């Protein structure tokens, strides 16, 4: 199975930006579609953004459209999430995951998660 190591989270004021990174190892990176998910306190983990194997196709959950951008660097086996104009409701632990299917399977289909990276946007 793949190994996932997320990084880049932190505390940022509303309106600020962060760039999350996820290093993926264990399988051939270019065969995987990739996604970002998040889990806010007291809520279920939810989908945020996904990117295809080639990087040419992406899709997002509605609350982040126009503010977040997912990208990938196949030479570095890394997927990124650029988050701009952050809001308090973006506060969550952010996780990445990978699958050979695109669109990605629903969040409950994944058996393995990394440790995630905490993003906090105070209100």
pLDDT tens, position by position, 18-35: 999 999 988 787 889 999
Provide, rounded to the nearest whole percent, the portion of the chain with pLDDT above 90. Answer: 91
User: What pLDDT score was predicted for residue 30?
Assistant: 80
pLDDT tens for 46-84 read 999 999 999 999 999 999 999 999 999 999 999 999 999
The reported pLDDT for the residue numbered 104 is: 95
CA distances from 114 to 14, 36, 63, 70, 74 (A): 26, 11, 24, 18, 19
Across the range 8-12, mean pLDDT stands at 98
Spatial strand order in the sheet of 117-120: 10-11, 117-120, 92-99, 33-39, 46-51, 58-60
């Amino acid at each position: 199975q793949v190994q996932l190591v997320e990084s880049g989270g932190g505390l940022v004021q509303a309106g600020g930006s962060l760039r999350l990174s996820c290093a993926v190892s264990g399988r051939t990176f270019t065969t995987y579609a990739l996604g970002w998910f998040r889990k806010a306190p007291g809520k279920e983990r939810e989908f945020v953004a996904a990117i295809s194997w080639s990087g040419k196709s992406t899709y997002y959950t509605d609350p982040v459209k126009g503010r977040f951008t997912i990208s990938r660097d196949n030479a570095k086996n890394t997927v990124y999430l650029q988050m701009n104009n952050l809001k308090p409701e973006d506060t969550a632990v952010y996780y990445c995951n990978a699958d050979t299917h695109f669109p990605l399977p629903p969040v409950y289909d994944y058996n393995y998660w990394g440790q995630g990276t905490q993003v906090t946007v105070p209100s």
